[in-house]
Structures are given as structure tokens and as C-alpha cells.
């Protein structure tokens, strides 16, 4: 490529928001190749992008903060009339003029308002512009405003064992866990993403690669709590059958979640319960509530139910029908005549999946209401994944919103030498802007329901995401930038409206320009003890920032025992994650230094007995060391800490190994003990009493 062509390519990339370089994990400035720039520009060159109206009088959306005066310059109009209506429909102001500017005072209320402009000269045109007026900070619970230091339990819901569940943790288990954590003084239960997955393909189990982020994973339904299951004689007869009891026992006893078996059992039972529901008179209260839920869910909900119903039909004949990209072309788009005809002919099947979403939403809400009745300061904290799977319902129904020629991931770093390609097509930034951010608003509203806090996975995605051209490796990507100020303003508005605080997962390479923005917006940072060190010197508990949650580990990292014993490196070697023995040796040596630094910090801050061994190479993970790490994090200045039951139980195997798919049973490993057993253990009670003591001191 000659210099003029290359310069043109670079200018096009800059205009599209593609970064020409970035600082890698080693602090070196790395240039993006011409090939990557070209392929990402091609990914952004979609039909939907071409349809965006470039000749508007105003942009489709303007975002401002409450109290700020607003000035708008009109483009390409000699004479126009205008009207500003507030979100509640009230006419705020209107007029007709020929000068190219509009000015509004600073007293506009919070909300989404509509400015309508009508061009009167030439060909008359009318366009609407959304004016978003936001607060400057997200919601913070009263307890945090009072500078209380809270703790909670962070769990992967599917890992829970109980005496009553059907082989996978469910909303019944969640309600029980909420009660148990509250009894022990906890402020919340933190969860993995609850997004809808693929009922017809249970093996696709990653909560971070969902079918849709707006609807729920129906495998979490507690079947025994469904009223029409309880009232169905057929369901009770089915449940008592010996073959069903055998399958239930098998599902409960497995070390790893058998999603196929659990899903099969639940759908069998719920189909019977649905038959009972349909026998209710149309005037029945539950029928009314269901109808209201469906109406409120609108096209997005119907699209999800249609996808699940059609997928179940196609998968009956071919288990390889994992998603719409491999379906018959006539079914590959929600809006196609064939899909419309299928839904018409199979209305009851679609209705069944609508009903499942209603049941799931009601049960999750019941869990949250339980936490509120117990006066937990936060109650439930949910998790929002960074994207959706390529073959799922969300993209199937709205392909214009996504760039299917790319996927998001992470560039190579020390812990992931190959980088990560998550296989999640990104939203098109120009299309999102053209829609006045409505898809983002809808996403937040869905995920701020039934909770007091929302964790945003990979919160740096508000500023930039690592885009990888389709079918390329992660090192061939580049950062694509977004309007972070707009996103943060909308976050603050929806957060205040839902009384839901925000936690941003800001691990990894964090651009300095977003750190202060997140802080000023009251988005809480995410601190992991393993990483809170410099030159192997671990930061003191009083050096942690207040506006944060601190955890010992996460779902992508080893458990406390796994970290200390370096099990993650052994697993990584055996699974092919670390292909370079030199790199692995360096990481192992670095871990030894960090273990020594952690041990020194535990001694320095009074978390270990004076006579406890001081040479990390001579120390094995034991109950004393486990308690010391929990005491250390409990002493931290952070407003929140999140504790994992895996560490209470001294478990060593991780729930997920990044960079693997089939090599390791990710998202399946259960806890070793049931909820009932965990909270009956004296050592767990003693540990949580220790945490309470230091959180309250």
C-alpha cells in the first residue's frame, strides 16, 4: 500500500473510532497493522450504517447533565419550527425561527425528552431528537453513603447444591442463600450473569456468551415452587415415578452440572405445569399478570420465545443446529415469512417459552423481595455480560445493531499470552447512536430489575473494546472507541431510577482516561487481592480505595487454595493454555514472589500469629492461612468485599479457565457441599464472625 493510500486508511480508521495503536500489557506502544485496520473498517461498513441519515438538522441524541444550559446548532435549515416535550408528554416550549441555534435553560428535569424539528424551507421534513438529561452520579445505597463497610457472598448460581434442587442451583436455592447470608450479617448475594442461554443446546453453558442479555436463563426456575406444578396431579404423579427419582438423584450427585439432564427434567415438569396453567379461567389473576408481563416485554420478549421454540424444534432432528447461522436460510432471520408462519402454527409452543420467562422473572423478584424484607442494604447484585453469542436470539432479531464481521475479546497479556477471542459480535457504535442509545437503555433496565447492584463485566467497554476481525486470532485486533461520557450519563440516570448501584469490573489494562470518569460517576471499582501489589509488595488494607469492592478471587481466577498451590499453572500446561515453557516458568517464579509478598503482608497487618512460618516456600495452605487472608480483606477500606464459598470450603478446582472451551468443564463445577451443610459448619460460622468483626470495627 502506498503512503497516500495508507494515510487514507488511517484517517478512515480514526473517523470510525478505531485506535491506530495502544499500550500493551508490557507498557509498550504497539501499532495496529494495515490488514487489521482494513478488516475492521470492512466490519463497520454494514447496510445499517449506510442507512443512517447524514443530513439531519440535529444529531439523533444529545446527552447533558441536570443543571447545565443547552445550546444546539441547527444544520442546513433556513426556516424551521420546533417543539420540546418532556418525557411525561408535557409541552415545555415551542416556536418558529430562522436563526440556526436553540437555547434551553438549565431547569430541564431528569429524563428522556423529545425535541421535534420541522424544516419549512425547501422540502418539508420532520425529525425527532432525544434530549437525555442525567444526574452526575449513580445511585449509592444509604449504608454506603454512611460509610459502612459491607460484605456479601459471590456465587455462580448453578454451582449451588441443596437438598431440593434438580442438579443445578436455582432461584429456590438463591432465596435460601439470601436468608443464610443475611443471618450471618451479609449485605448481599452476588451472582453470575442470569442471561438467557440456549434451552435446546444446554451444553452452551457460558453465562458470558448468552443468547440474550435482556431475558433470563430458564434453567434457574425452581420447579417445585411453581404454583401450577404444585396443583397438578399429573405433575405429582410424574415426580413420584422411580425413573424420575433416579434421574433427579443422578443430577444432584454429579460433581459437575449435567445441564442436559437438568434441562430435560425441568422442561418435562414445566410442560406439565403449563398444561395446568392453561386450565385456569382467563379472568384468573395469574393469567392477567402473565398477559401484562408479555405486553410489557414487547417484541424483544416475543423474539426470545420464538427463538427458543424454533430452536427446540430444529434441535430435535439435528443437535448441531446450535444457532441461527447454521439454520435453514428461511429461518435465519426473526422477521422472515417462514418464522412468522412457524410462530402462527406453533403459537402454544411460543407461549410456553413466554410463560417460562414470566415464571423466571417472578421467582427472581421474589428472591430480591426476600432480601429487602430482611433489610439487606443491597440484597442481590447481578452481573451484566459484555456481549452476546453470535448464534442467539438477540442478534437473530436485530442484526442491524451488530457488526457480524468482528468479535470482541482481549489483546495478549501476561496471564493470557495468546489473547482472548470471546466470539461475541460487538454492537455498531454508529447504529447505537442513531437509535439514541435505546438498545443500551433497554439493556440496563432489564438488568437493573430485581437487584440492588449491577456489576458490569469489562466496564472499560464503555470507553473502548478490543475488536477482532472475524475468524482472526486475538492478536490481530484493535481497540474501537465509544462515547464514554454518554454511556456514563445514561448509566447514572437508570441507576438512580432503579435505585441500583454500579460496580465496574476494571481489571487488566485500564486506560487512565476512564479511571477518573468512573470515580466521578460513582461507579465502584473492582479490586482483587491477588493483583493489589507493586513489586510483590501487597498494598495495606488501609491503602485500598473506599469506592470499590474487593475480592480475593474471581470466576476467571484460581481459588485461594488453587492460587497458593499454583494449580492454575498445572492445569494451564496440561490444557495447552501456556504453550511457551519459558513464559510458564516466569509466571511460576513470579507467583512464588507474590506468595511471599502476601505472607509478609498478612504478618505485617496482624492477620497471622507471630510464630506462624514466615517463609512462603515452607507454608502449605491451611485453615490459619485461609482465615488470615479473609481477615486481611475484611480489614480493607473498600466499601464492599465479596467472598466466595469456594474459599470457605477450601476448594482447589476453578469454575472457569480462560482460553479453554472443550478442554475443561467450564461453568459446570459445583460446590463440594450443599447450602445446608455450608452454614451448618462451625468453621464457616467462625470465619464469617471474623469477617463481621473486622468489617464493623
3-class state of residue 558 by DSSP: coil
3-class state of residue 127 by DSSP: strand
Mean pLDDT, residues 269-285 taken together: 96
d(CA 478, CA 22): 8
pLDDT value, residue 686: 98
- Taking every pair of Cα atoms in the chain, the longest distance, rounded to a whole number of angstroms, is 88
Starting from the edge strand earliest in sequence, which strands make up the sheet with 80-85, in order? 61-65, 125-134, 111-119, 80-85, 91-97
* Nearest Cα residue to 247 out of 267, 273, 218, 231: 267
Task: Give the H/E segment covering residue 568.
Answer: helix 567-575
Mean pLDDT, residues 203-227 taken together: 97
Asked whether residue 274 carries a pLDDT value surpassing 90, the answer given is yes
Region of 251 on the Ramachandran plot (φ > 0 left; ψ -120 to 50 alpha; else beta): alpha
Integer CA distances (angstroms), 633 to 346, 447, 527, 552, in order: 54, 28, 10, 7
Q: Report phi then psi at 647, rounded to 5.
A: -80, -30
d(CA 424, CA 409): 8
Beta strands in 519-593 (DSSP E): 523-528, 533-534, 537-538, 548-551
Residue 213: CB partners within 8 Å, gap ≥ 6?
A: 193, 195, 384, 385, 388, 394, 443, 446, 447
Mean pLDDT, residues 559-586 taken together: 92
Regarding predicted confidence, which is higher, 697 or 382?
Answer: 382
Range name among 95-99, 276-280, 446-450 with the lowest pLDDT average: 95-99
* CB-CB contact of 320 with 255 (8 Å): no
Asked whether residue 6 carries a pLDDT value surpassing 80, the answer given is no
How far, in whole angstroms, is CA 192 from its chain's centroid? 8
pLDDT value, residue 415: 64
Range name among 2-16, 268-282, 468-482, 526-540 with the lowest pLDDT average: 2-16
Mean pLDDT, residues 417-437 taken together: 93
Mean pLDDT, residues 674-681 taken together: 98
* % residues pLDDT > 70 (the chain): 99
Q: Report phi then psi at 540, rounded to 5.
A: -70, 150
pLDDT value, residue 379: 98
- Kindly give the pairing relationship between strand 548-551 and strand 61-65: unpaired
* Nearest Cα residue to 91 out of 124, 62, 114: 114
d(CA 210, CA 387): 8
Asked whether residue 580 carries a pLDDT value surpassing 90, the answer given is no
Q: Report phi then psi at 560, rounded to 5.
A: -60, -45
Residue 381: CB partners within 8 Å, gap ≥ 6?
A: 152, 188, 189, 190, 191, 451, 452, 453, 454, 455, 503
Query: Domain map of the chain by residue range?
Result: 61-134
Is residue 2 very low, low, confident or very high in pLDDT (cuts 50, 70, 90)?
low
d(CA 568, CA 557): 8
Is residue 413 very low, low, confident or very high in pLDDT (cuts 50, 70, 90)?
confident
Go through 170-184 and write b for each residue having 16 or more CB atoms within 10 A of its CB, e for each that does not.
Answer: bbbbbbbbbbbbbeb
d(CA 515, CA 504): 10
3-class state of residue 581 by DSSP: helix
**DSSP bridge partners of 424:** 408
Helix axes 623-634, 581-604, angle to 10 degrees: 70
Task: Give the H/E segment covering residue 132.
Answer: strand 125-134
Asked whether residue 1 carries a pLDDT value surpassing 70, the answer given is no
Is residue 91 very low, low, confident or very high in pLDDT (cuts 50, 70, 90)?
very high
Range name among 135-139, 504-508, 657-661 with the lowest pLDDT average: 657-661
* Nearest Cα residue to 657 out of 648, 670, 666: 666
Is residue 99 very low, low, confident or very high in pLDDT (cuts 50, 70, 90)?
confident
Class of domain 61-134: mainly beta
Mean pLDDT, residues 8-33 taken together: 92
d(CA 93, CA 73): 17
Q: pLDDT tens digits for 505-531?
A: 998 778 888 999 999 999 999 999 999
Range name among 58-72, 241-255, 520-534, 599-613 with the lowest pLDDT average: 58-72
Is residue 658 very low, low, confident or very high in pLDDT (cuts 50, 70, 90)?
confident
* Nearest Cα residue to 117 out of 142, 84, 150, 157: 84
pLDDT value, residue 281: 94
Quote the pTM value.
Answer: 0.96
Mean pLDDT, residues 625-644 taken together: 98
In whole numbers, what is the pLDDT of the chain averaged over residues? 95
Amino acid at each position: 500500500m502506498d503512503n497516500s493510500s495508507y494515510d487514507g486508511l488511517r484517517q478512515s480508521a480514526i473517523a470510525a473510532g478505531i485506535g491506530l495503536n495502544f499500550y500493551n500489557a508490557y507498557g509498550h506502544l504497539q501499532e495496529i497493522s494495515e490488514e487489521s485496520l482494513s478488516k475492521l473498517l470492512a466490519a463497520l461498513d454494514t447496510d445499517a450504517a449506510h442507512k443512517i441519515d447524514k443530513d439531519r438538522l440535529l444529531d439523533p441524541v444529545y446527552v447533558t447533565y441536570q443543571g447545565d444550559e443547552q445550546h444546539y446548532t441547527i444544520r442546513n435549515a433556513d426556516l424551521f419550527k420546533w417543539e420540546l416535550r418532556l418525557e411525561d408528554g408535557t409541552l415545555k416550549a415551542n416556536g418558529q425561527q430562522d436563526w440556526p441555534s436553540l437555547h434551553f435553560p438549565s431547569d430541564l428535569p431528569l429524563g428522556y425528552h423529545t425535541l421535534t424539528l420541522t424544516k419549512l424551507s425547501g422540502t418539508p421534513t420532520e425529525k425527532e431528537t432525544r434530549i437525555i438529561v442525567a444526574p452526575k452520579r449513580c445511585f449509592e445505597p444509604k449504608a454506603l453513603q454512611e460509610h459502612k463497610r459491607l460484605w456479601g457472598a459471590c456465587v455462580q448460581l448453578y454451582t449451588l447444591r441443596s437438598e431440593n434442587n434438580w442438579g443445578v442451583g436455582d432461584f429456590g436455592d438463591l432465596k435460601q442463600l439470601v436468608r443464610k447470608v443475611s443471618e450471618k450479617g451479609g449485605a448481599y448475594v452476588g451472582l453470575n450473569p442470569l442471561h438467557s442461554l440456549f434451552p435446546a443446546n444446554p451444553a452452551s453453558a457460558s453465562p458470558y456468551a448468552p443468547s440474550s442479555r435482556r431475558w433470563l436463563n430458564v434453567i434457574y426456575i425452581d420447579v417445585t415452587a411453581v404454583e401450577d406444578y404444585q396443583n397438578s396431579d399429573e405433575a405429582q404423579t410424574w415426580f413420584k415415578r422411580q425413573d424420575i427419582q433416579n434421574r433427579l438423584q443422578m443430577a444432584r450427585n454429579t460433581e459437575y452440572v449435567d445441564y442436559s439432564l437438568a434441562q430435560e427434567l425441568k422442561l418435562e415438569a414445566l410442560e406439565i405445569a403449563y398444561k395446568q396453567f392453561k386450565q385456569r379461567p382467563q379472568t384468573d389473576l395469574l393469567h392477567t399478570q402473565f398477559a401484562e408481563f408479555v405486553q410489557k416485554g414487547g417484541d424483544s420478549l416475543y423474539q426470545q420465545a420464538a427463538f427458543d421454540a424454533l430452536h427446540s424444534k430444529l434441535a430435535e432432528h439435528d443437535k448441531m443446529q446450535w444457532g441461527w447461522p447454521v439454520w435453514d436460510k428461511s429461518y435465519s432471520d426473526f422477521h422472515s415469512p417462514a418464522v412468522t408462519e412457524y410462530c402462527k402454527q406453533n403459537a402454544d409452543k411460543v407461549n410456553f417459552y413466554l410463560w417460562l420467562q414470566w415464571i423466571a422473572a417472578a421467582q427472581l423478584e421474589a428472591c430480591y423481595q426476600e432480601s429487602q424484607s430482611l433489610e439487606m442494604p443491597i440484597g442481590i447484585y447481578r452481573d451484566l455480560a459484555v456481549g452476546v453469542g453470535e448464534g442467539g436470539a438477540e442478534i437473530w432479531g436485530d442484526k442491524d445493531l451488530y457488526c457480524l464481521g468482528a468479535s470482541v475479546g482481549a489483546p495478549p497479556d501476561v496471564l493470557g499470552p495468546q489473547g482472548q477471542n470471546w466470539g461475541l459480535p460487538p454492537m455498531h457504535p454508529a447504529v447505537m447512536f442513531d437509535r439514541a442509545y435505546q438498545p443500551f437503555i433497554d439493556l440496563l433496565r432489564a438488568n437493573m430489575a430485581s437487584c440492588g447492584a449491577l456489576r458490569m463485566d469489562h466496564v472499560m467497554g464503555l470507553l473502548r473494546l478490543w475488536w477482532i476481525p472475524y475468524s482472526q486470532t486475538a492478536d490481530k485486533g484493535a481497540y474501537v472507541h465509544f462515547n464514554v461520557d454518554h454511556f456514563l450519563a445514561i448509566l447514572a440516570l437508570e441507576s438512580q431510577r432503579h435505585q441500583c448501584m454500579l460496580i465496574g469490573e476494571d481489571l487488566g489494562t485500564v486506560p487512565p482516561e476512564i479511571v477518573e470518569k468512573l470515580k466521578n460517576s460513582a461507579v465502584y471499582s473492582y479490586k482483587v487481592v491477588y493483583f493489589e501489589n507493586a513489586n510483590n509488595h501487597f498494598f495495606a488494607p488501609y491503602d485500598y480505595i473506599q469506592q470499590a469492592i474487593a475480592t480475593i478471587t474471581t470466576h476467571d481466577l484460581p481459588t485461594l487454595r488453587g492460587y497458593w498451590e499454583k494449580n492454575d499453572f498445572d492445569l494451564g500446561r496440561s490444557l495447552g493454555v501456556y504453550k511457551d515453557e519459558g513464559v510458564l516458568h516466569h509466571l511460576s517464579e513470579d507467583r512464588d514472589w507474590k506468595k511471599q509478598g502476601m505472607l509478609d503482608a498478612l504478618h505485617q497487618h496482624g492477620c497471622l500469629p507471630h510464630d506462624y512460618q514466615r517463609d512462603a516456600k515452607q507454608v502449605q495452605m491451611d485453615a490459619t492461612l485461609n482465615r488470615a487472608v479473609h481477615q486481611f480483606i475484611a480489614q480493607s477500606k473498600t466499601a464492599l468485599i465479596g467472598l466466595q464459598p469456594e474459599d470457605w470450603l477450601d476448594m482447589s478446582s476453578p469454575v472457569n479457565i480462560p482460553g479453554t472451551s472443550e478442554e475443561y468443564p467450564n461453568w459446570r463445577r459445583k460446590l463440594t457441599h450443599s447450602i445446608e451443610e455450608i452454614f451448618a459448619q462451625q468453621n464457616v460460622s467462625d470465619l464469617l464472625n471474623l469477617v463481621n468483626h473486622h468489617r464493623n470495627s
